[in-house]
Amino acid sequence: MIRLSVAATVLLATPAMAAVEGKPFFSLYNTDIVVLIGFLIFVGILVYFKVPAKISELLDARAVTIQSELDEARRLREEALELNASFERKQAEVKHEAARIVEKAKADAQLAADQAKADIEASIARRLKAADDQIASAEANALRDVRNMAVSVAVGAAGDLLAKKMDDAQSDALFRQALSTAQERLH
């Protein structure tokens, strides 16, 4: 109910009703007229001092400043996009280069491993050949030692046998014959 009475009061309060206590509408006692006159004087002063033109100039200058800032921001954005694209290209190039370096390193490592394997195989072959040579040399030395020993034993046995069967005359004849054979072969 209170709301209804407030709404009715607002609708019925017109400038004609503003005349208070029987005073005329167009008088200085009417606050609405006083406010209207003050407002018109204020607008007149603003127009006299060309405040709207100055405000318009300030707004235009501000608009130009904002436009230049927007243009600068667009330019900076385009530069940033170009720089970003450049960095992305460089990153892709670096990735490609890194992959190429890794592949080359793998290939070099494989070559080094193959070379090391070949070197080890050659070293093993050399060592095996050296061991075979040492074994062959040891066998030859052993055979020579066995032959020399056999010859020594045979010569000793033959000497003992001849010493038992030979007399002085046969010994002198064999000595002379051996001496003459030695002289013939030495000269």
For residue 174, is pLDDT > 90? Answer: no
Residue 43 lies in a domain: yes
pLDDT in tens, 34-82: 999 999 999 999 999 999 999 999 999 999 999 999 999 999 999 999 9
Residue 20 lies in a domain: yes
Separation CA 27–CA 40 (nearest Å): 16
Separation CA 75–CA 121 (nearest Å): 68
Q: Which carries the bigger pLDDT value, residue 164 or residue 10? A: 164
Residue 100 lies in a domain: no
Separation CA 43–CA 36 (nearest Å): 11
Separation CA 37–CA 61 (nearest Å): 33
Residue 167 lies in a domain: no
pLDDT in tens, 97-122: 999 999 999 999 999 999 999 999 99
Q: Give the residue numbers spanning the domain of 13.
A: 1-48
Q: Among residues 10, 12, 30, which one has the least CA distance to residue 21? A: 30
Separation CA 184–CA 187 (nearest Å): 5
Residue 18 lies in a domain: yes
Residue 40 lies in a domain: yes
Characterize 114-139 residue by residue with b for buried, 16 or more Cβ atoms within 10 angstroms of its Cβ, and e for exposed.
eeeeeeeeeeeeeeeeeeeeeeeeee
Residue 165 lies in a domain: no
**pLDDT band at 151, cuts 50/70/90?**
confident
Task: Tell me how many domains the chain contains.
Answer: 1
Residue 125 lies in a domain: no
